[in-house]
Chain A
Amino acid sequence: MNALEAKEHPPIVYVVDDDEAVRNSLRFLLRSVGLATQTWASAGEFLASYRPNQPGCLVLDVRMPSMSGLELQQQLNLRGAIIPVIFITGHGDIPMAVEAMQHGAFDFLQKPFRDQDLIDRIQRALAKDAKSRAALKELARIRSRLESLTPREREVMQLMTRGKPNKVMAADLGVSQRTVEIHRARVMEKSGATSLAQLVRMVMDLNLESPAQTDVNPVKAP
């Protein structure tokens, strides 16, 4: 499945730098190693055209007029974007680089850099992006499956994952054990879990991820 998706949406390396020469040279370099590259002269222009469901990574200059690289990073964080950001900085921008890393930047490089250093980092960033997108997709799949449970099935699932025996569940819910067994079978069938352990895992993953639920919507399977 992953290979197929990768074919549909090849990753794009976005370069945002206000210096035209740096921008053009990066595009030239990255294309010479076969990376699809798009360049932007300002953070604002990039943000206006950014599509979160496009896999890729961002190579971002720290210092730019109107919106700095750090501000763009914060805007992307606010939007719940998962795109990995590689900062490129001039001399003396180390405190800014530290701040960028604290806000979740993937990596940073000082200008000028060895091409291989940049290309290695880009490859790692693209791998990380693919991995996070796959994980998000998997979560979305689990969620949509669990969303198909009826309220009663959901109750049964919660009791199951707490390890309650059927007999106790039947008493708690005021139904027969037979009815609990039917609900239980439905939960396993709809969730696609092959064992109780796997079901517990699914519920835990979803709970862990629930504060950022909105992030997943853009990557819902087409």
Chain B
Amino acid sequence: MDTCKALLQATKMTQPPDPSTISGTRPAHGNRPSSDAGALEPLHGRMLHVSRLATIGEMAAGVAHELNQPLTAIANYAQACDRLLAKPDADLGDVRQALREIAAQAVRAGEIIRRLRALARANPIERTSTDINAVVTEILELLQPDARLNEALLAVELGDDLPQVNVDRVQIQHVIVNLARNGFEAMNSSGSKLRELKIRTAQTVEGDIELCVCDSGPGLAPEVLERMFDPFFSTKPDGTGLGLPISNTIARAHGGSLGYRPNRPRGACFYIRLPCEPHA
């Protein structure tokens, strides 16, 4: 963990934070940050993997819950078929319909596992030209169980005709999961009545792609705001304190930034900004 800390401190932002809007800085010089990431890649990659596994561990409860839904449906349909077929005048149309549902639910369960495995893979960083909305859509199925577990609504607002970004989709999804989980936990621990987590994508006036994760929780206290990118600083009793620093590192490795602003009317809004690819 010491190496993680050293690495994170080395890449930590150096500017004093603006108390209301805080953001990890972009590298000041013209070097594409991918070259930074390249030098640090073995360590960086391992650390990301550790953090990702920690996140996955935390998500296991939600995933188990989510897998239970298709399994329950499969069990119900199969047992109903058994009962139907025991009748002499069984309606085979009903049975066939139930069998189709069983197949669909088995595929659904497999898909949940496939997505979890994709997130858990220790892939080398692989940046490709990507539609940010597809990155979001792909991860929704993994976030849904968390939403359910925290009794929150998960809403998505995707911008139209956004330019492509050159990113490692698993890393960006890791950031989204980190931010979303923070949001769910904030809403849960504050006992918010209206619990809504919104993921939005849009293009900023500067032309960057902005992906924000907004919750309707209590928002961030100023003292937390100042320290939110400090490795191992956490407001959660069992938090690793690595979620935001790693998300920040990932954003910077992509030549982007991670920032915070209060959400309206209430809550926290974390955003990751990524440079978009020049039009071909």
Residue of B nearest to A66 (CB): B153
A19 to B144, CA, bound (A): 11
Q: Mark A85-116, 1 if CB is under 8 A from B, else 0.
A: 00010111000000000000000000111110
Are B195 and A112 in contact, with the CB atoms below 8 A?
no
Q: Mark B75-94, 1 if CB is under 8 A from A, else 0.
A: 11101100110000000001
Cβ-based interface call for A161 (8 A): no
For A115, list chain B residues within 8 Å (CB): 75-76, 79-80, 83
Given contacts A21-B70, A22-B69, A65-B195, A29 and B148 within 8 Å (CB-CB): no
Give complex CA distance A13, B80 in Å. Answer: 16
Q: Which residues of A contact B108 (CB under 8 A)?
A: 21
Interface residues on A, range: 20 to 34
Write out the residue numbers on chain B whose beta carbons fall within 8 Å of the beta carbon of A132. Answer: none
Most buried by B among A29, A32, A65, A115: A32
Most buried by A among B68, B70, B74, B84: B68
Q: Pick the residue among A24, A26, A28, A65 that contacts B148 (CB under 8 A).
A: A65
| Bound form: Cα–Cα A68–B77 in Å | 25
Tell yes or no: B72 within 8 A of A by CB.
Answer: yes
Contacts A21-B105, A63-B151, A65-B153 hold; do A28 and B76 have CB atoms under 8 A apart? yes
Q: Which of A18, A21, A22 has the most chain B CB atoms closer than 10 A to its own CB?
A: A21
Is the beta-carbon distance between B153 and A112 smaller than 8 angstroms? no
| B101 x A25 contact (CB < 8 A) | yes
Residues of B with C-beta under 8 A to A22: 69, 72-73, 76
**Residues of chain A contacted by B61 (CB below 8 angstroms):** 91-92
- Complex contact A90–B64 (CB within 8 A): yes
Q: Contacts A22-B69, A65-B195, A91-B65 known; A29 to B153 CB distance under 8 Å?
A: no
Q: Which residues from chain B contact A68 at a C-beta distance below 8 Å?
A: 151
A112–B68 contact, CB under 8 A?
A: yes
Given contacts A90-B65, A92-B65, contact A29 B80 (CB under 8 A): yes
Q: Which residue of B lies closest to A91 (CB)?
A: B64
A100 nearest CB across to chain B (Å): 14
Q: Report, as a range, how many residues of chain B touch the other chain.
A: 20 to 34
- Contact (Cβ within 8 A) B77 A90: no
In the complex, per-residue mask of B120-144: 1 if CB is within 8 Å of any chain A CB, else 0: 0000000000000000000000000
Closest CB in chain A relative to B103 CB, distance in Å:
12
Asked if A64 is at the interface of the complex by the 8 Å CB criterion, the answer is yes
Please, which residues of chain B bring their CB within 8 A of the CB of A63? Answer: 65, 148-149, 151
A4 within 8 A of B: no
Complex formed: what's the CA distance from A115 to B81 in Å? 11
Chain B proximity mask over A163-198: 1 for CB below 8 Å, otherwise 0: 000000000000000000000000000000000000
Contact A33 B64 (CB under 8 A): no
A18 touches which of B79, B83, B148 (Cβ 8 Å): B148
Question: What separation, in Å, do the CA atoms of A188 and B124 have in the docked complex?
Answer: 90
Query: Out of B64, B65, B98, B153, which one reaches A28, CB within 8 Å?
Result: B98
Other CB < 8 Å A-B pairs besides A25-B98, A90-B69, 15 of them?
A21-B104, A22-B76, A25-B72, A25-B80, A29-B76, A29-B79, A32-B80, A63-B148, A64-B148, A65-B153, A66-B151, A90-B64, A111-B72, A115-B79, A115-B80
**30 interchain pairs, CB-CB under 8 A:** A19-B69, A22-B72, A25-B76, A25-B77, A25-B80, A26-B76, A28-B76, A28-B94, A28-B101, A29-B77, A29-B79, A32-B80, A32-B94, A63-B65, A63-B149, A63-B151, A64-B148, A65-B148, A65-B153, A65-B195, A66-B151, A66-B153, A68-B151, A88-B72, A90-B69, A91-B65, A92-B65, A111-B69, A112-B71, A112-B72
Q: Interface of A with B (CB < 8 Å)?
A: 18-19, 21-22, 24-26, 28-29, 32-33, 63-66, 68, 88, 90-92, 111-115
Partner-A contacts on B (CB < 8 A): 61, 64-65, 68-77, 79-80, 83-84, 94, 98, 101, 104-105, 108, 147-149, 151-154, 195
